[in-house]
Amino acid sequence: MTDTSPPVKRRLFGRAQGHKLGPRQQALVDSLLPKLDWPDRQVPVPSELLPGHDRHILEIGFGAAEHLIGQARHDREAGFIGIEPFLNGVAKALSGIEDEGLTNVRVKRGDARDELERMPDAVFDRVFLLFPDPWPKARHHKRRFVQTGTAGHLARVLKPGGRLRVATDVTIYADHALPILLATPGLEWTARSADDWRKAPVDHMTTRYERKNLGDCAPVFMDFVKRHA
């Protein structure tokens, strides 16, 4: 499915690339990424990008791709889509895909907000948004991924009964995101006690980034379910 209207891309904030890629990573970006990416004008339909999988899972801003690759390795029956603007993270994902021989992952280098807006309704069983940039300065709050509009799209692309997990280790981001998610039609917070958001869920895969404890609080896990109509 292709959208014939010209793609409108948002400005990406922050660095698009860090250190120079090594020879292997650059080779994977040149050869493997074009096979796993999709055109900017294409409507990203998970069942078309990854046919033959009984569930489809989206990870937004997968960073160094440890969680994305770990989940895909653990659950090969599901199809995983990862979107990340940072080239070095995309290159790490490609390395993991090749090392693990994964055929159930598609990745795109780009802004997930653009892709979310084009996605059809009710196509994902799970969505992960883990430790997004908190943009702590007040003038940068509008750059935070969780906003009223994006939260609405996150709910929209989930299937009824599908689950959303937003995790952060920054207090101001948790305080910013939770009220927005609680107010988003269709989403229901699953927490029933403090341990439900203080303790890592049993299916969570801790990454090296998380172990660095760069935030100002212990990780907060906000799990939501898409209510049935």
Binding-site positions for substrate: 137, 169, 207-210
Catalytic residue among 133, 175, 203, 223: 133
Residues annotated as binding site? 59, 84, 111, 133, 137, 169, 207-210
Q: Is 213 exposed, middle or buried (0-12, 13-18, 19+ CB in 10 A)?
A: exposed
* Residue 133 designated active-site: yes
Residues annotated as binding site for S-adenosyl-L-methionine? 59, 84, 111, 133
The owner of tokens 């979310």 is 116
Query: Distance (Å, rounded) from C-alpha 55 to C-alpha 76?
Result: 10
Helix 87-100 with 23-31: angle, nearest 10 deg? 90
Query: Which of 70, 107, 106, 105 lies closest to 85, judged by CA?
Result: 107
3 state DSSP class of 54: coil
Tell me which H or E stretch contains 18: none
Query: Distance (Å, rounded) from C-alpha 84 to C-alpha 62?
Result: 6
Tell me, what DSSP letter sits at residue 175? H
Catalytic residues: 133
